[in-house]
Amino acid sequence: MASLLERLQSDLTAARKAQDKSRLLVLGTIVADVKNRRIELQRDPTDDDVLDVVRRGIKRRRESIEMFQSAGRDDLVANERAQVEVLETYLPPQVDPEELRNAVRAAIAGGAANVGAVMGKVMPQFKGRAEGGVINAIAREELSRKG
């Protein structure tokens, strides 16, 4: 199976050949970010390193969406949303919320009494497969039920 970086690069080449400007822009930016990450690490990035770069790209674009919405720039919001959709295709499948809920309950049963402690126990189990915000919301909900 090809590495994630190889997949990004081949999709970038395909977008270039198809003259798909929007995909070309977002994939070109991410591949450049991965190359910068390679320089930072002083080694070839692993798939996990590349996933971190993709996630940061998604986060940056979601922050831009919020700013553009508050400024009333719907044209730019649509563009950023399209870029997020392209990048999300490179993420691994997300974990089922029920599996997250069970892990949160186990952490609470194991003595985690606040959101920070629950996050500390649960996040490493699902690194890269679940968003922190989702886990945080479930943790708050379960802790409020307990209290």
How many whole angstroms separate alpha carbon 140 and alpha carbon 101? 11
Cα dist from 140 to 53, 118, 136, whole Å: 28, 9, 6
Residue 43: the pLDDT is 93
- Name residue, tokens 């719907």: 74
pLDDT tens digits, 13-48: 999 999 999 899 999 999 999 999 999 999 999 888
pLDDT tens digits, 87-134: 999 988 878 888 888 888 888 888 877 888 888 888 888 876 777 788
Q: Residue 72: which region, alpha, beta or left (left: phi > 0; alpha: psi -120 to 50)? A: left
Cα dist from 37 to 3, 7, 22, 61, 124, whole Å: 16, 17, 23, 18, 22
- Decide if pLDDT at 1 tops 80: no
Residue 133: the pLDDT is 81
Of 3 and 112, the one with more pLDDT: 3
